[in-house]
């Protein structure tokens, strides 16, 4: 096989080559060199590569090549039908792909837009009605537009699923199947992901026709330019160790991962109290908040960015040389995507994980997936306590926030003692008429008093069943 040393050897057009030069690239990455030629030929592809190796450009460039004959300057929407659809699991990844299409296709008269949830749908409707050849979308918002008949997919020539395993993990499989049913049968289909599992292969069997499997590295491989360090630390000392690591990093930005949205918010509050400038990204943040947080982090206004696994895919941050796992992810595959935010484009990166005794099983699963042991490092003053008195080390694996909620509240008020309600006998005892005595004759006169017998019928109490009680 001929070794490809430049983009000129891939058969791309001059407009695309000029855009590549503008981005400062001269040589294709291994995944780009392997996937671009067969995609140009029209083959279906299953592509897998390490995170951060240029996978997005690997399908963006040949897609633009195949659509270039349809480029035109007409203002009529009928001249710009949707011909390529790219599905992504998150807003961040969809935005990154959209940016890549715009950068490499800036010399082509092809229209592109991106649609996702969390923003006003009216602006997206106007862009779709104007006509776009390339549509980048998340599955949920795409179905919203389909239900409102804002888009026509009958002209689709190419469908691309990026990070397909993540979409399945997020429960998008029914949505994907519904979308695929609306596409024409004669089309080119591509599946790309940093990892492949059995579910993805089942989907590929139904979606792809005689696909070409391209794996640049072994399955679930990690970038060799990333140095991995594991700090064994007790839960109660995690935050203090994190502060120390942040201070040692000087001015270098750091991306911090936490398992839950509540854990992100709590950690951000703690860091702000420690005078650490930090922002947050998670699923409860709207798109404007997420975009602003990411922008501030990229511009160096924030020392750190705290995020859930929603930021583990799609974030492309230049000069990010450190990622810290404050909590290990529940899925070992997510560890690969988390650390893939650093060590990108051939740069060196560092992946630091703070692991408590309750997370050791998660660490073992990650090492099994990677097929290697990660370096263990103990920092003086933050060693894990192995004695039985260390309650924190015996906690089950759970979110940072839930551990906080279990702590006793010093300012909590004592519980009020329950007082038994007072029972008024008028409402609980049956009514019995009293015995009437004729006082006209007295005992002193030697005549026994006459007693008038009353009815034996008992009138029940007002609100309660009768209670047997001896009458005095």
Beta bridge partners of 200: none
- Cβ-based neighbour number of residue 447 at 10 Å: 10
* Per-residue pLDDT reduced to its tens digit, 219-263: 555 667 788 999 999 888 899 999 999 988 777 789 999 999 999
163, two tokens? 């990070």
Structure-model confidence comparison of residues 134 and 460, the more confident one: 134
Mean pLDDT of the chain: 81
Q: Which CATH class is domain 226-406?
A: alpha beta
Beta bridge partners of 212: 45
Which pLDDT score, from 0 to 100, does residue 3 have?
Answer: 67
* Per-residue pLDDT reduced to its tens digit, 292-313: 888 888 888 888 999 998 877 7
Q: Whole-prediction pTM value? A: 0.63
Which pLDDT score, from 0 to 100, does residue 387 have?
Answer: 41
* Per-residue pLDDT reduced to its tens digit, 111-136: 999 999 988 899 999 999 999 999 99
Domains 7-215 and 226-406 are alike in CATH topology = yes
Domain residue ranges in the chain: 7-215, 226-406
Which pLDDT score, from 0 to 100, does residue 320 have?
Answer: 84
The pLDDT-based confidence of 161 (bands split at 50, 70, 90) is: very high
The fold adopted by the segment(s) 7-215 is Rossmann fold (3.40.50)
- Among the residue ranges 122-126, 163-167, 278-282, the one predicted with the least confidence is 163-167
Which pLDDT score, from 0 to 100, does residue 392 have?
Answer: 34
Q: Report the candidate in 305, 304, 263, 301 with the shortest Cα–Cα distance to residue 284.
A: 263
* C-alpha distances out from residue 351 to 22, 224, 320, 378, 455, Å: 31, 12, 11, 15, 93
Query: How buried is residue 4: exposed, middle or buried, by Cβ count under 10 Å (0-12/13-18/19+)?
Result: middle
Which pLDDT score, from 0 to 100, does residue 163 have?
Answer: 86
Does residue 408 come out as left (phi exceeding 0), alpha (psi in the -120 to 50 range) or beta?
Answer: beta
């Amino acid at each position: 096989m001929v070794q490809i040393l430049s983009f000129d050897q891939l058969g791309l057009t001059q407009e695309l080559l000029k855009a590549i030069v503008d981005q400062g690239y001269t040589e294709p990455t291994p995944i780009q060199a392997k996937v671009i030629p067969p995609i140009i030929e029209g083959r279906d592809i299953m592509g897998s590569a390490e995170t951060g190796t240029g996978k997005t450009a690997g399908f963006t460039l040949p897609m633009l090549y195949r659509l270039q004959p349809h480029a035109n300057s007409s203002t009529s929407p009928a001249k710009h039908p949707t011909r390529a659809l790219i599905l992504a699991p998150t807003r961040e990844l969809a935005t990154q792909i959209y940016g890549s299409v715009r950068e490499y296709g800036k010399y082509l008269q092809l229209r592109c837009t991106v649609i996702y949830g969390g923003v006003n749908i009216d602006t997206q409707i106007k862009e779709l009605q104007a006509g776009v050849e390339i549509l980048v979308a998340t599955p949920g918002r795409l179905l919203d537009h389909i239900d409102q008949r804002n888009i026509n997919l009958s002209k689709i020539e190419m469908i691309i699923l990026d990070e397909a395993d993540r979409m399945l993990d997020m429960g998008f499989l029914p949505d994907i199947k519904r979308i695929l049913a609306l596409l024409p049968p004669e089309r080119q289909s591509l599946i790309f992901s940093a990892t492949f599992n059995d579910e993805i292969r089942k989907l590929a069997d139904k979606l792809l026709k005689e696909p070409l499997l391209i794996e640049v590295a072994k399955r679930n491989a990690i970038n060799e330019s990333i140095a991995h360090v594991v700090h064994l630390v007790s839960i109660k000392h995690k935050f203090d160790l994190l502060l120390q690591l942040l201070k040692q990093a000087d001015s270098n930005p750091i991306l911090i991962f936490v398992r839950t949205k509540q854990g992100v918010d709590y950690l951000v509050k703690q860091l702000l109290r420690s005078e650490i400038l930090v922002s947050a990204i998670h699923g409860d943040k709207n798109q404007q908040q997420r975009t602003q947080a990411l922008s501030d982090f990229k511009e160096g206004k924030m020392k750190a960015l705290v995020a859930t696994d929603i930021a583990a895919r799609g974030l492309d941050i230049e000069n990010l040389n450190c990622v810290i796992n404050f909590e290990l992810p529940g899925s070992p595959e997510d560890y690969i995507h988390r650390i893939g935010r650093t060590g990108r484009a051939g740069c060196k990166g560092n992946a630091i994980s703070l692991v408590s005794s309750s997370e050791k099983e998660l660490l073992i699963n990650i090492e099994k997936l990677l097929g290697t042991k990660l370096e263990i490092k103990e920092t003086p003053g933050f060693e894990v306590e192995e004695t039985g008195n260390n309650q924190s080390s015996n906690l089950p694996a759970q979110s940072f926030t839930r551990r906080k909620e279990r702590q006793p509240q010093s300012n909590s008020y004592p519980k009020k003692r329950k007082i038994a309600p007072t029972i008024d006998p008028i409402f609980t005892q049956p009514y019995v008429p009293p015995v009437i005595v004729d006082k006209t004759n007295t005992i002193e006169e030697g005549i026994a008093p006459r007693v008038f017998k009353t009815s034996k019928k008992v009138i029940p109490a007002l609100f309660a069943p009768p209670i047997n009680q001896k009458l005095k």
